[in-house]
Structure 1
């Protein structure tokens, strides 16, 4: 075992945080626009006149993209552990940008029939592959170079820009709905947000190509600690961290897609609000979420990761049913209150998720292990959430029915997290800690980085 100096931080930390935030914004804008336009896309790409059926079909395709996220996590995670964190982020944004722009040029069902949804599914798969390494890749890159006492605050940039991207998408579509008639939106207006993504991705790619490598990965390269098979080695040695990631990753993922994707469709299809009202409520709510994430990051840096994360999971057990009951009334004030309840809980679930993804896994296998475990939760549990929520509402004919899926998952998460989640505040991100699950960091000199192999 050897030791080196205090863990380095990014040379220009604020600029790095801004660069990561902008890139993350662009990536999730691309992914979110589809969800915001699900009702319109459903009517254009699927046969039938029933708005519920077409919306469910569009949300089903939304879930298809998630099925490819684990494969993208494997590919981009291994790239991150072997070639560098920056390389994975560059590949991710290129793939997402190409896929998103292509959606804007797809022919509709009335033009090519069943080929239209087939092409949509193929492109959604490419989006899923690209997104597989984005959230965990951005978190790893940024937090590895952040000061020990400020990791959550810098990590909150990831959560904040993700929701900000969805808010921007919502307001963009709202603006288009104001400028164009319904007929014009169906004819060409829905394509514009996807075309704009092309411009945004060029900006994001330029920024990412100019970023330096993560200081942790640079040190790993310097010490020749690259692992040939990081995924197999990482998951075998850190399976408890992977189980925990499934739990808190599910809470973040399901909560996020409820507030960012499903609610705007729920308010239109189930509650019966006009599209403009639904977009305005969700867009403003997500702006609030974006700002509140920074407060959540400050709290998490002060009190630690365990309590806020477990309490957020418990909140998802208690709050969703009354929140959907409030939104289901259709009263604007009650809708806003119900939506804000979900947003506040999710902010803590999201920020703690971002930090834990980095702190619970050792440096050599962090990129691949965290990406695969997180994206498994997102793909198979969180990804289908908008579809399942919509199906519950349509089948049970109850405005509170969508809450059942979130509450059921939260009950399981509370049990797992309450029993297994350690307090990782202050852990050394260079430390290879196979016994992390003792709820105690390995004792080292405060100025030393322990390395092995």
Structure 2
């Protein structure tokens, strides 16, 4: 490919517009996805009624996790769209799918009205949400990182996890408001539907903003030269298997860690063992997510300064060592201690998540970038992120040790650390416009500086 970095430089004003567009859509996607976790107990009562509240919660969380099973399919579909039709088309499609599926959840009759059909339709809509998330993350990452200055790619990419955190924080704010102003009966009757109904206006706003943007210069150049991949999935599986594996390892801890913050934290605090009120649990979760959101650009600056490899390895090591103590302190019953402990956890999670976003883009050649990174990203989300909430809840009730909920995160972080330590090269500074197979594919990490 003859196009060079200098020929497709993006203006600062355009970079700001790109950041706003990615942030708006990403916020909506993760707000919609996260509110389900905050209303998991209520949804369990309405759609999975049982004599045992713990069973209702586990079934509700299972429906939360099953959405992630659809992420690989959604990632492949939207990845192909991104590599064949453009990054903008992929981003717009994913946000439309999320808005429609979430709005339909808000309108869905409960088990009391239509019986077993209610949880079946709920699971189908959750799967559509999962397919949407499967396309959103890689699309937003490509849109931001491909157009960022070389020395600020991680800072630009930090918009994606930061707005995911902000989306979760927005979900907390709505849940707090509803909890404060509605009675329990009103919440069960109609209050739980309110945050899902917000998907419609948020989705329309995100689509409008994204359609105003031009596609990335990298894709535009490939399109002009007729250099688009005809079969991006087959090409990625043939030539980018190692990069896909590296994305899997990097995403594993990032995805599981995020769901620890969004779902495991409030549900643990509200459990019978801890006994924190819903209001206090949501307030604590909001504080933790605010810290995480603020730490994401800091992690981006660190990654741009010292490199991808040391940043993500340090973050994974922190998650490996601190997850069990953090969960033990989360179960202490002291809100201040819980917030401080999970804020430290959030620091390591930010280092992993932000660097993972940049790796999704820097590890792949341009023509198979969205398809290849979507495969690794979403396989990890489905196989390891999907069951996370249920595993954590089951561990918390199945072990006498109050820190047992952190075992799963420790195991996943250990896998991430080992896989990346032996396989990950330093990708900082790599030419994102290159269509050549990455030179590090056949070289050891220690010998690659890019």
> Is residue 105 of structure 1 aligned with residue 87 of structure 2?
no
Within 5 Å, give how 1:21-40 maps onto structure 2.
21-40=23-42
Give me the whole-angstrom Cα distance separating, in 2, the residues matched to 1:5 and 1:288.
Answer: 35
1:299 to 302, 321, 327: 302
Q: TM-score, normalised by structure 1?
A: 0.95
Within 5 Å, give how 1:277-296 maps onto structure 2.
277-296=280-299
Give me the whole-angstrom Cα distance separating, in 1, the residues matched to 2:422 and 2:5.
Answer: 35
Q: Secondary structure at the match of 1:201?
A: helix
Contact 1:237/1:434 (<8 A) preserved:
no
Partner of 2:8: 8
Within 5 Å, give how 1:125-136 maps onto structure 2.
125-136=127-138
Q: What is the Cα deviation at residue 397 of structure 1? A: 3.9
Within 5 Å, give how 1:12-411 maps onto structure 2.
12-269=14-271, 270-411=273-414
Q: Secondary structure at the match of 1:430?
A: coil
Partner of 2:417: 414
Partner of 1:423: 426
Relative distance call for 1:2 and 1:335 in structure 2 (3 A) is closer
Q: Secondary structure at the match of 2:403?
A: coil
Give me the whole-angstrom Cα distance separating, in 2, the residues matched to 1:181 and 1:195.
Answer: 19
Q: Secondary structure at the match of 2:383?
A: helix
Give me the whole-angstrom Cα distance separating, in 2, the residues matched to 1:389 and 1:314.
Answer: 20
| More off after superposition, 196-205 vs 393-402 | 393-402
Q: Write the deviation string for residues 186-232 of structure 1: whole angstroms up to 9, x where unpaired.
A: 11100000111111111111111111101110111122110111111
Partner of 1:446: none
Q: TM-score, normalised by structure 2?
A: 0.96
> Is residue 434 of structure 1 aligned with residue 438 of structure 2?
yes
Give me the whole-angstrom Cα distance separating, in 2, the residues matched to 1:190 and 1:33.
Answer: 9
Q: Which runs of 5+ in 2 are unaligned?
A: none
Give me the whole-angstrom Cα distance separating, in 2, the residues matched to 1:386 and 1:334.
Answer: 22
Q: What is the Cα deviation at residue 430 of structure 1? A: 1.1
Q: What is the Cα deviation at residue 435 of structure 1? A: 2.3
| More off after superposition, 358-367 vs 41-50 | 41-50
Q: Secondary structure at the match of 1:271?
A: coil
Q: What is the Cα deviation at residue 398 of structure 1? A: 3.4
Give me the whole-angstrom Cα distance separating, in 2, the residues matched to 1:408 and 1:272.
Answer: 27
Q: What is the Cα deviation at residue 322 of structure 1? A: 0.8
Contact 1:52/1:394 (<8 A) preserved:
no
Relative distance call for 1:330 and 1:20 in structure 2 (3 A) is same
Give me the whole-angstrom Cα distance separating, in 1, the residues matched to 2:10 and 2:165.
Answer: 25
CA RMSD of aligned residues (A): 1.4
Q: Secondary structure at the match of 2:404?
A: coil
Relative distance call for 1:274 and 1:49 in structure 2 (3 A) is farther
Contact 1:156/1:293 (<8 A) preserved:
yes
Aligned length: 443
Give me the whole-angstrom Cα distance separating, in 2, the residues matched to 1:371 and 1:335.
Answer: 34
Q: What is the Cα deviation at residue 434 of structure 1? A: 3.2
